[in-house]
Amino acid sequence: MTTNEYAAYIASLPRVLAGAATLFRDGEGRVLLVEPNYRAGWALPGGTVESDAGETPREAARRETLEEIGLDVEPGRLLAMDWVRGHDRPPIVAYVYDGGVLSGERFSAIRLQEEELISWKLVSPEEITTYLLGELGHRVLAALDALDSGTGPVELVDGRPGR
């Protein structure tokens, strides 16, 4: 295969987006959610992996957490990987990392990125799918199950266990 043929082959491959988020909880097991101003529903602190800059999903989760809520926290273990099929966009692989249990003083240190976020709140696991729409709610519930059971990471497709 020539250099030009290889370049053409690489250019023909499908594009896949990547995102990474951090799952924080309080001492009561409630999950920290943020409310974006650019779309419906809530989210975990996180965002797009900047792979052009050589960023890994773990690095993206840490960077996005710092940018969005002002906390510089090294993500813990990987809890879930979710392949989300694209309908009007390329597919996304979403990574969810354990952010641990935050104390009251850490919550008081939260500073929202005003350009993107309206507010934050703590939500019980039973309320997750009310705030996190579609596959995101199922992804977070699966990540919580992996955390509780000590297993993981869990492999998901569109927020559901993959096969």
Tens of pLDDT, residues 23-69: 999 999 999 999 999 988 999 999 999 988 899 999 999 999 999 99
Q: Is residue 6 part of a domain?
A: no
Domain that holds residue 64: 18-161
Q: What are the strands, taking DSSP E only, across 26-138? A: 31-36, 46-48, 78-84, 92-101, 117-123
Q: Is residue 60 part of a domain?
A: yes
| Confidence bin at 108 (pLDDT 50/70/90) | confident
| Confidence bin at 163 (pLDDT 50/70/90) | low
Q: What is the CATH number of the domain that holds 110?
A: 3.90.79.10
Q: Is residue 5 part of a domain?
A: no
Q: Is residue 133 part of a domain?
A: yes
| Confidence bin at 79 (pLDDT 50/70/90) | very high
Q: Is residue 144 part of a domain?
A: yes
Report the C-alpha gap between 68 and 109 in whole angstroms.
Answer: 12
Q: Is residue 7 part of a domain?
A: no
| DSSP-based helix, strand, coil % in the chain, nearest 5 | 35, 30, 35
| Confidence bin at 89 (pLDDT 50/70/90) | confident
Q: Is residue 10 part of a domain?
A: no
Q: How many domains does the chain fold into?
A: 1
Q: Is residue 4 part of a domain?
A: no
